[in-house]
């Protein structure tokens, strides 16, 4: 009977600890973070456009674009094999990627372009790659990438005619900050994305 009180105390403490875990769970949430509606694909809105060759002859690269349920314009980069969109793992094997909430999505009514850089480290069967990609509003006439490394040539990635996707695959791993992007709009205005901010320039002749 002497153990009754300590046992009761221990049981109460355990119960209180469990209650603490439950209460804290209500505050900090569960394991699944909410998916932003700007990421969720609208069924049937996806298409692949454009494609670009790998810098050293691997599978072609491609941008899969879609519209999200919130109306955001999304772009996801991958590889093409037999018309299928996917990726190549570190061993060099191709695998298909289903349409998911994984793209980079933006509101192109706020900014005329969204730019992103994916970096893939080298693996046993996959050389390192850096891919600059994004999606442009129809008002964007040209995208110019001017790498800070002078050994890499400036490039004008082709902009997809239907959905405005663009991409530039590069060999090696390159910091995004070393890949400033200049866009030119139909009206001649330009904007420079140097990964620190956006610098807008008026069209020639504007006061």
**Which residues of the chain form contacts with another protein (CB under 8 A)?**
5, 9, 12-25, 27-29, 31-34, 36, 38-39, 72, 76-78, 87, 89-90, 97, 100-107, 110-111, 113-121, 123, 176, 181, 193, 195-198
- Least Å distance, CB 47 to another protein, is 18
- Least Å distance, CB 36 to another protein, is 6
Minimum CB distance to another protein smaller for 32 or for 204: 32
10 Å Cβ neighbour count for 44?
Answer: 8
Minimum CB distance to another protein smaller for 119 or for 203: 119
How is residue 52 written in tokens? 């670009």
Q: What string of DSSP letters covers the chain?
A: -TTHHHHHHHHHHHHHHHHHHHHHHHHH--SPPPPPTTTSBPTT--EEEEEE--TTSSSPEEEEEEEBTTS-EEEEEEEEETTEEEEE-TTS-EEE----S-SEEE-TTTSSEEEEEEEE--BTTB--EEEEEEEE-TTEEEEEE--SSTTS--B-PPPPTTT-EEEEEEES---GGG--EEEEETTS-EEEE-SS-EEEEPPTT--
- Least Å distance, CB 11 to another protein, is 11
Q: Phi and psi at residue 50, in whole multiples of 5°?
A: -95, -170
- Least Å distance, CB 90 to another protein, is 5
Minimum CB distance to another protein smaller for 18 or for 203: 18
Minimum CB distance to another protein smaller for 32 or for 151: 32
Q: What sign does the CA torsion over 93, 98, 101, 105 have?
A: positive
- Least Å distance, CB 19 to another protein, is 6
- Least Å distance, CB 173 to another protein, is 9
Residues paired with 81 in a beta bridge: 84
Minimum CB distance to another protein smaller for 89 or for 142: 89
Minimum CB distance to another protein smaller for 110 or for 204: 110
């Amino acid at each position: 009977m002497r153990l009754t009180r300590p046992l009761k105390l221990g049981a109460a403490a355990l119960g209180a600890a469990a209650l603490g875990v439950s209460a804290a769970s209500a505050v900090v949430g569960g394991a699944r973070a909410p998916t932003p509606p700007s990421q969720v694909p609208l069924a049937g809105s996806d298409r692949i456009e454009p494609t670009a060759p790998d810098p050293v002859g691997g599978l072609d690269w491609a941008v899969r674009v879609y519209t999200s349920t919130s109306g955001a314009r999304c772009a996801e980069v991958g590889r093409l094999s037999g018309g299928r969109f996917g990726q190549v793992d570190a061993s060099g094997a191709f695998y298909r990627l289903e349409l998911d909430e994984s793209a980079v999505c933006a509101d192109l009514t706020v900014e005329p372009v969204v730019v992103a850089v994916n970096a893939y480290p080298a693996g046993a069967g996959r050389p390192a790659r850096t891919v600059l990609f994004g999606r442009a509003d129809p008002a964007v006439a040209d995208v110019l990438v001017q790498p800070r490394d002078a050994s890499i040539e400036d490039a004008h990635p082709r902009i997809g005619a239907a959905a405005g996707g663009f991409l530039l695959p590069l060999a090696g791993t390159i910091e995004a900050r070393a890949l400033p992007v200049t866009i030119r709009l139909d009206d001649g205005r330009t904007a420079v994305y140097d990964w620190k901010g956006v610098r807008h320039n008026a069209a020639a002749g504007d006061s």
